Structure 1
Amino acid sequence: MKKYMKNSIFLLQIFLILSCSSDDRSDNNQFLPPSSINYQINLNLPQFNPLKFPGNHLIDRTENGSIKGIIIYNIDDSQYSAFELSDPNHSPNDCSTQTVEGITSTCECDDGNSYNIVTGQQTSGEGQFGLRRYNIRRDGNTLFITN
């Protein structure tokens, strides 16, 4: 009986370990290759001045590990959103880089894809994927962007 209980407890532990979800946010998007983002933005630098004010956005195309660049939006000075600039419903190409007006990013391809840069949800066009979200947090005058 003791051996049966030990085996049962062991199997239960294995089951619990395997059923736990991880924080790996694999988006399973076949169009966008994996990217590795881990960098900081100093809001004291003049090129990042727009991000000091709620309702403003900035497109960062520096060598930051993204595919085409990152759209960063200041929601309310304590909350920011950060998304990949490449349209998630196209393989990266000449027309997949998005432009931003207000809180809408739009792909230049013929399908009319557009997205909300606050939520990342697709608002029009064709496709099954929303924008690829990056983690972003503010600490003092520094934004930390990771994935």
Structure 2
Amino acid sequence: MKKIISLFLISLLFFSCSDDGFNNNNPYIPNYNFSVTFNLSLPQYSNLTTPVNAVYYSGPEVGPKGIYVFNTGSGYNAFDAACPNQPLSSCSTLTLDGINVVCPCDDEEYSLFTGLGKSKYPLKQYRVEKSGNILRIYN
């Protein structure tokens, strides 16, 4: 009987794990494991200290098109800079347009607040942690 109860508790623990509903699967954008930090005290990231501003970062560790980091006013969002509804190509790097990003391939516009556009896939979102003046973006 103890074995059955132990097995039940272990299986309950295993199946009750949660990923906080975070899903960034997209057939057009590969999953890259990365972690990059931004020091908000540095001039190149100072726009992120003001709400409703974005910064584009294109280091080699974040994938072929880079990322956009956006200050929502109540936190930060980070999105892949590749068009979420297009295969990777020369025109599939999103461009910043105020509080939105636009895909030059199809002129689809996506919100940096929500990541949503009108097409099937939203922007590919990454996790963001803030500690003092340091932002950590990771997948």
TM-score (norm 1): 0.81
Contact 1:35 1:67 in 2 (8 A): no
* Structure 1 position 137 matched with structure 2 position 111: no
Identity of aligned residues (%): 36
What CA RMSD, in Å, does the superposition of the two structures yield over aligned residues? 2.1
Instruction: Give secondary structure in 1 for the equivalent of 2:95.
Output: strand
Q: What are the Cα deviations for residues 34-87 of structure 1, in whole angstroms up to 9, with x where unaligned? A: 1122011111211112112111111111223233111111122x5111100001
* Structure 1 position 113 matched with structure 2 position 105: no
Relative distance call for 1:56 and 1:30 in structure 2 (3 A) is same
Aligned equivalents of 1:140, 1:96: Cα separation in 2:
34
Query: Which residue does 1:72 correspond to in 2?
Result: 69
Aligned equivalents of 2:2, 2:10: Cα separation in 1:
12
Contact 1:67 1:84 in 2 (8 A): no
Larger radius of gyration: 1
Query: Which residue does 1:29 correspond to in 2?
Result: 26
- What count of residue pairs does the alignment treat as equivalent? 138
Relative distance call for 1:30 and 1:141 in structure 2 (3 A) is same
* Structure 1 position 87 matched with structure 2 position 83: yes
2:122 partner amino acid? G
* Structure 1 position 49 matched with structure 2 position 46: yes
Instruction: Give secondary structure in 1 for the equivalent of 2:130.
Output: strand
Aligned equivalents of 2:54, 2:13: Cα separation in 1:
41
Unaligned stretches of 5+ in structure 2? none
